[in-house]
Amino acid sequence: VEECVVCSDKKASVLFKPCGHMCACDGCAALMKKCVQCRAQIDKVVPFAVCCGGSAVVVEETEAKKKTVNVRAPLSKSDISLNISKFPTDKNENSPSASLLAALPGHVMNNGVRDSNVNDFQKLQQQLQDIKEQTMCPVCLDRLKNMIFLCGHGTCQMCGDRMSECPICRKSVEKRILLY
């Protein structure tokens, strides 16, 4: 188990569901709504003792029956393929605009020329996503950056108030500058 990618003070001790990454300690994980590695929404946080400890047992309830699963038991190939199929392969696959683009027949105009507006739209959409990622807090990935440290890196105020060192460059936080 590696160190927490947010605070670097403790070992990563929680498993995020559904993505399966283990990259944060329990203190930092409590602040996070999205995984810092893949930016997937965190539905469930599983402590290290439960997911990798050995003696813990997880009970899953289904509509038809109750099933007890030992957490140390290996997954079968069918379990893995079912779990993989739940996740989108393209990061824009779930966006409404991507589904609208997929529904358009061929993106070809009446004169047979390919419509470049679709490509322009996709480029603009990617640029907008990049801008959003630059302005979002790198710790929780949920709120806008509104606090800057003297090193020049920033977080949201909620995450920044709990930091003793910068999560990006690991320099000690001497002052916090709030942006309005």
Q: Which pLDDT does position 101 carry in this prediction?
A: 45
* Bridge partners (DSSP) listed for residue 155: 147
Residue 46, domain member (yes or no)? yes
Range of the domain at 33: 1-87
Q: With bands split at pLDDT 50, 70 and 90, how would you rate the model's confidence at 176?
A: very high
Residue 4, domain member (yes or no)? yes
Q: With bands split at pLDDT 50, 70 and 90, how would you rate the model's confidence at 55?
A: very low
Specify the higher pLDDT residue, 89 or 142: 142
Residue 13, domain member (yes or no)? yes
36: nearest Cα among 3, 1, 5, 2: 5
Report the chain's mean pLDDT, rounded to a whole number.
72
Specify the higher pLDDT residue, 8 or 90: 8
HSE of 6, CA atoms in CB hemisphere, 13 A:
28
Q: Which residues contact 38 (CB under 8 A, 6 or more apart)?
A: 19, 21
Residue 65, domain member (yes or no)? yes
Q: Which residue has the tokens 């947010």?
A: 6
| pLDDT 10s digits, 78-111 | 444 444 444 444 444 444 444 444 444 455 556 6
Residue 74, domain member (yes or no)? yes
Residue 159, domain member (yes or no)? no
Distance CA 152, CA 169 (A): 10
User: Which CATH number fits the domain that encloses residue 10?
Assistant: 3.30.40.10
Residue 48, domain member (yes or no)? yes
Residue 114, domain member (yes or no)? no
Looking at 1-5, 60-64, 174-178, which range is the least confident one?
60-64
Number of domains in the chain: 1
